Amino acid sequence: MKLVIAISSRALFQLDESHAIYESEGVEAYCAHQRANEHVVLEPGPAFTLVKKLLALNKGVEVVLLSRNSADTGLRIFNSIEHYQLDIKRAAFCSGASTHRYVAAFGAQLFLSTNPDDVRESLAHGLAAATILPSHRENDSGQLRIAFDGDAVLFSDDSERIYKQLGLDAFARNEKEAARDPMPGGPFKNFLAALHAIQAAYGPDDSPIRTALVTARSAPAHERVIRTLRAWDIRIDEALFLGGMPKGVFLKAFGADIFFDDQPVHCDSAREFVPTGHVPYGIANATVGGED
């Protein structure tokens, strides 16, 4: 299986200055700024280190760029890609339009962006996607380490709905009664499966990828998680059942290159220690008029 990651230009590179010009002065000023600085190399963005590690894995991994820039203003982005010797050859420049339309077209298993609207649209079409949050933390390890929340990320939000609507006791009772019933997959199940396929080519001690489940669940709700992953025949290297403890320090200890969670409160804890992607999916992200 080929692993394809789609990433926005603002997730890959630091474009805050340029974006501020766009917000305050408009499109023409932004375009003029990008043309005037097209040979000025952009600084790495929040997902830059993750992309470098992904590209270093093997020839079965591809990263494609999806950008709201035009092809003209995107020249600076490609010049920066060349400067850092990133093996990114495919791109879509949408001139201000949404980029989510091209995630499936490129066959991507994951889309990372700083634009929450593009991320929500991708999730609504059944694709794994996350909003990359600003963070200045990164893992120095050569190994690619990716951590996931469970409910509404790897798994569906069915159990989380019970917790939100009926409380902790009802949630614990349901998980104990359904311990042998595998949970439906969430938006990141297929991405985890793609990572597992790469890991399968290596021994357990020499894999370039290490994965972790970092969940607020605790016993007895752990059993259903373990049996679900067993039923999926998907490898997870580490599983942390934290019983509601803040996740940030544990993610730092794991050395995550990125952590995916659906709940903003957990993302805020995590981003103080590791790069973090918010997954605006499920009941934790419900709004008055429905769900995002």
* pLDDT tens-digit series, residues 219-270: 888 899 999 999 999 989 999 999 889 999 999 999 999 999 999 999 999 9
**Chosen domain end from 97, 131, 165:** 131
Give the Cα separation of 240 and 232 in Å (integer).
19
pLDDT score, position 275: 93
pLDDT(278) > 60: yes
pLDDT at 163 over 90: no
Give the pTM.
0.91
How high is the mean pLDDT of the chain? 89
Q: Same domain for 86 and 210? A: no
Residue 149 known to be catalytic: yes
Instruction: State how many domains the chain has.
Output: 2
Answer yes or no: do 49 and 173 share one domain. no
137 in any annotated domain = no
Q: What amino acid is encoded at 184 in this protein?
A: P
Whether residue 139 is contained in a domain is answered as no
- Secondary structure (DSSP) of 28-52: HHHHHHHHHTTTSPPPB-TTHHHHH
Quote the Cα angle for 210-215-221, to 5°: 120
For residue 152, how far is the Cα from the chain centroid? Answer: 13
Give the active site residue among 118, 149, 157, 257. Answer: 149
CA-angle at 28, arms to 24 and 29, nearest 5°: 50
Distance of CA 285 to the CA centre of its chain: 16
Domain's final residue, options 74, 101, 131: 131
Domain that holds residue 276: 144-291
- 283 and 154 both lie in a single domain: yes
pLDDT attached to residue 29? 84
Q: 115-154: per-residue pLDDT in tens?
A: 999 999 999 999 999 999 977 676 667 789 999 999 999 9
Residue with tokens 């999926």: 232
Assigned domain for 232 exists: yes
pLDDT recorded at residue 22: 77
- What is the rounded distance in angstroms from the CA atom of residue 267 to the CA atom of residue 260? 8
Q: Both 15 and 127 in a single domain? A: yes
Residues 114 and 190 in one domain: no
Per DSSP, the three-state class of 132 is strand
pLDDT at 279: 97
- Domain assignment present for 42: yes
Per-residue tokens: 3: 């692993």
